């Protein structure tokens, strides 16, 4: 079980968090203007790198805040954590 440093609460057990997938996939400003292909890419397509990955976490059993983190998907090491 990972020990995750919540930017607001400090280090807490992984069970207090939920994973939110890849970060920086913004909700399109005007979804209606997108083609089916573009909308499908927003909806379904995500990166899956081995190594550093920018992703979202939420401290759901704590402060309930969302934050971004860079995690190494091969080692589960949190490389960069920020608010």
Partner 1 sequence: MRLPTGGRIDRATTLRFTLDGVERTGFAGDTLASAMLAGGVLAVAPSLYQRRPRGIVTAGVEEPNALVQVDGEPSLTATTVELVDGLTASTVSGVGRLSPLDGQVHDKKYVHTDVLVIGGGPAGLAAALAASAGGARVMLVDDQPSLGGSLLSDVTVLPWVSSAVADLSARPEVRVLTRATAFGYYDSNYVLVAQKRRLWHVRARRVVLATGAHERPLVFEDNDLPGIMSASAVRTYVNRYAVLPGRRVVVQTTNDSAYETAFDLTSAGARVVSILDTRLEPPADLVARATELGIEVRADRLVRRAQGSSRITAVSTQDYDLGCDLLAVSGGWSPVVHLFSQSRGTLRWDNTLAAFMPDTATQANRVVGAANGVYGLAEALAEGAAAGSEAASLVGFPGAEPELPPVASREATPPRPVWQVPSDPARCFVDLQRDATVADVLRATGAGMRSPEHVKRYTTIGTGADQGRTSNIPALGVIAAALGLSSPGELGTTTFRAPYAPVSFALMAGRNRGALHDPVRTTPIHPWHVEAGAVFEDVGQWKRPRFYPRAGEDMDAAVLRECHAARTGVGVQDASTLGKIEVVGADAGEFLNRMYTNAFKKLPIGSARYGMMCGPDGMVLDDGVTMRLAEDRFSVTTTTGGAAKVLDWFEEWAQTEWPTLDVTFTSVTEQWSTIAVVGPRSRAVVGRLAPSLDVSNEAFPFMTFRNTVLHNGIPARIARISFSGELAYEVNVASWYGLATWRAVLAEDDITPYGTEAMHVLRAEKGFPIVGQDTDGTVTPHDLGMSWIVSTRKDFVGRRSLRRPDAVRPDRKHLVGLLPVDPTIVLPEGTQLIAQNVPLTPPVPMLGHVTSSYRSAALGRGFALALVKGGRTRIGETVVAPLGDTLIEATITEPVFYDKEGARRDG
Contact between 32 and partner 1 (CB under 8 A)?
A: yes
Q: What is the spatial distance between Cα 31 and Cα 43, in angstroms, rounded to a whole number?
A: 11
Contact between 10 and partner 1 (CB under 8 A)?
A: no
Contact between 39 and partner 1 (CB under 8 A)?
A: yes
**Of 77, 74, 75, 82, which Cα lies nearest the Cα of 57?**
82
Q: What is the spatial distance between Cα 4 and Cα 72, in angstroms, rounded to a whole number?
A: 13
Task: Note the residues at the interface with partner 1 (CB under 8 A).
Answer: 1-3, 14, 18, 20, 26-28, 31-32, 34, 36, 39-40, 42-43, 56, 58, 60, 64-66, 75-76
């Amino acid at each position: 079980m990972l020990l995750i440093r919540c930017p607001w609460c400090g280090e807490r057990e992984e069970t207090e968090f939920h994973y939110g997938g890849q970060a920086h996939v913004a909700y399109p400003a005007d979804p209606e203007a997108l083609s089916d292909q573009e909308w499908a890419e927003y909806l379904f397509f995500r990166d899956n790198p081995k190594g550093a990955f920018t992703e979202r976490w939420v401290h759901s059993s704590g402060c309930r805040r969302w934050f971004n983190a860079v995690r190494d998907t091969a080692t589960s090491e949190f490389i960069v954590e920020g608010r």
